[in-house]
Amino acid sequence: MVFSSTIFIFIYLPIALMLYYITPFKWRNLVLLIENLVFYGWGEPVYVFLMLASVAVDYFLALMIERSHNKGEKGKKWLIISIIINIGLLVLFKYLTFICDTLNALFSLNIALKMNIVMPIGISFYTFQKMSYVIDVYRNDCKAQHSFTAFGTYVSLFPQLIAGPIVKYRDVAEQMETRNTSVDKFSDGVCVFIVGLCKKVLLANSIGILWDTLYNSGNLSVLGAWLAVAAFTFQIYFDFSGYSDMAIGLGKMLGFEFKENFDYPYISKSATEFWRRWHISLSTWFREYVYIPLGGNRKGKLRWYINILIVWAATGLWHGASWNFIAWGLFYAFWLIIEKLFLLKHLEKGRILPHIYAILIAMLGWALFACNSLSEGLTLIGSMFGIGVSALASQSDIFYLVSYMPLFVILIIASSPLVKNAFLCIPEKSRNVLTLILCLFGLILCTASIISSGYNPFLYFRF
């Protein structure tokens, strides 16, 4: 079940909210836990048991760590067990096939898996949430949750279960015990949800058709390659930021406050700034739980650069079990190191050129990211620069450029804070009325689009 579907918007969500609000507060976590499991089990009922089992393991291990602290011990062995189990599950369900294929290719082996392993939706997200919780308990950054229902609710919370943002337990610990709900907060959540829905359905889906068309067309011209990558650049942003907005809006409807996951990344002036604005919860997770424990920048320049390479190789691998994702992570590691060495100080002084530089870096990265393999990604990048192409432009590419130009203009404006800043200049009373009108109109348009179009992919499901 996805947020941008009629069954979720008009059936699951109204029923879930009604049951949630008619339930006394002390039982709401239990009701919410059941609703979370129904949501997750809608498409993959068997993996509900896997998630519950992994939740039970980390719930127990966190309590063991807390008990060790009370005895004056660190409880490191329980932390290690938790990390091994969580990484082990990721390896089994997400990376085992990739590892076997790589070993077969490198050493001419013939390792064959005898079972068909299907990756559970959202396992990358909820595994990182559980790991951050156990690590924080070990560090004394938060107390262990003694209620299995509350902890299970935190891990399986349906707004952010399958696609984030990655919510650290310490950020919502108090909200698991008590959370404020009000008409204003609920209505604000509805508006944020509809904005995210519009991003996903009206913008991401619309430009995603162009990416799919060009990518599957075969041999691309130079113009066609740039159009394809530009289309994916906007598709993945509005797809994922739209889904994050929907998650934040749903959280508000339930009384939760989640941190923002995107902050207009395409207005960045460097790769460094881009990753302060893109998928903020993921980059924050890797910084706090991998980069800093490795030593960060505190152990000399060589170790600093090695740490960056490790973190970004891991970031790429987190996104998918394929060499193109690893190459994508190392691509960003290279540019981040270059910026730290000498480039960043010059970029910060510029105005227009740094923005062009940052968006070019992002587009080249997305060319690697979007394709099914590293070879396809490199071929696409080559096509962007005239390598292996038969023409600079084709008639169909020119047709696509002209046809999609109005949408590209809308996407450029929508990916900047211009609309938000202009909206905030409107007097509050008028703004409230306009918000209501736009939300209703947006919901109607999205519903019509979902019903009339069979094209409604969600890119981050594969992660």
Looking at the predicted structure, is the pLDDT value of residue 180 above 90? Answer: no
| pLDDT tens digits, one per residue of 201-229 | 999 999 999 999 999 887 899 999 999 99
Does residue 296 have a pLDDT over 80?
A: yes
Q: Burial, 415: exposed, middle or buried (Cβ in 10 Å; 0-12, 13-18, 19+)?
A: buried
Interval 138-161 mean pLDDT: 94
Q: Residue 458's pLDDT is what?
A: 66
- Give dist(CA 268, CA 354) in Å, integer: 8
Average pLDDT estimate for 420-438: 91
Structure tokens at 217: 């067309």
Of 112-116, 130-134, 185-189, 370-374, where does mean pLDDT reach its minimum? 112-116
Q: How confident is the model at residue 462 (pLDDT cuts 50, 70, 90)?
A: low
Please, which residues have CB within 8 angstroms of residue 394's CB and are 6 or more apart in sequence?
A: 221, 223, 224
439 within 8 A of 258, measured Cβ to Cβ: no
Q: Report the helix count and the strand count for the chain, using DSSP H and E.
A: 23, 0
Give pTM, 2 decimals.
Answer: 0.94
154 near 30, Cβ under 8 Å?
no
Instruction: Look at residue 388 and tell me whether its pLDDT is greater than 70.
Output: yes
Percent of the chain with pLDDT over 70: 98
Q: How far apart are the first and last CA of the chain?
A: 16
Q: Give the per-residue pLDDT at 217.
A: 86
Amino acid 139: pLDDT:
95
Residues labelled as active-site residues? 319
pLDDT band at 106 (very low <50, low <70, confident <90, very high): confident
165 cis-preceded (ω within 30 degrees of 0):
yes
pLDDT of res. 62: 96
Instruction: Judge whether residue 233 has pLDDT over 70.
Output: yes
pLDDT for res 118: 79
- For residues 65-87, give the mean pLDDT: 92
Cβ contact 414:170 at 8 Å: no
Give the per-residue pLDDT at 109.
81
For residue 428, the model assigns a pLDDT of: 86
3-state DSSP assignment of residue 144: coil
pLDDT tens-digit map of 399-414 = 999 999 999 999 999 9
Q: How confident is the model at residue 395 (pLDDT cuts 50, 70, 90)?
A: very high
Using the predicted structure, report yes or no on whether residue 266 has a pLDDT greater than 80.
yes
CA–CA gap between residue 172 and residue 174 (Å, rounded): 6
Q: How confident is the model at residue 460 (pLDDT cuts 50, 70, 90)?
A: low
Mean pLDDT (the chain) is 92
Alpha carbon distance 166, 282 (integer Å): 7
CB of 196 closer than 8 Å to CB of 160: no
124 pLDDT exceeds 80? Answer: yes
User: Cβ(205)–Cβ(458) under 8 Å?
Assistant: no
- 322-338 burial by CB neighbour count: b if 16+ within 10 A, else e? bbbbbbbbbbbbebbbe
For 22-51, write each residue's pLDDT tens digit: 999 999 999 999 999 999 988 778 889 999
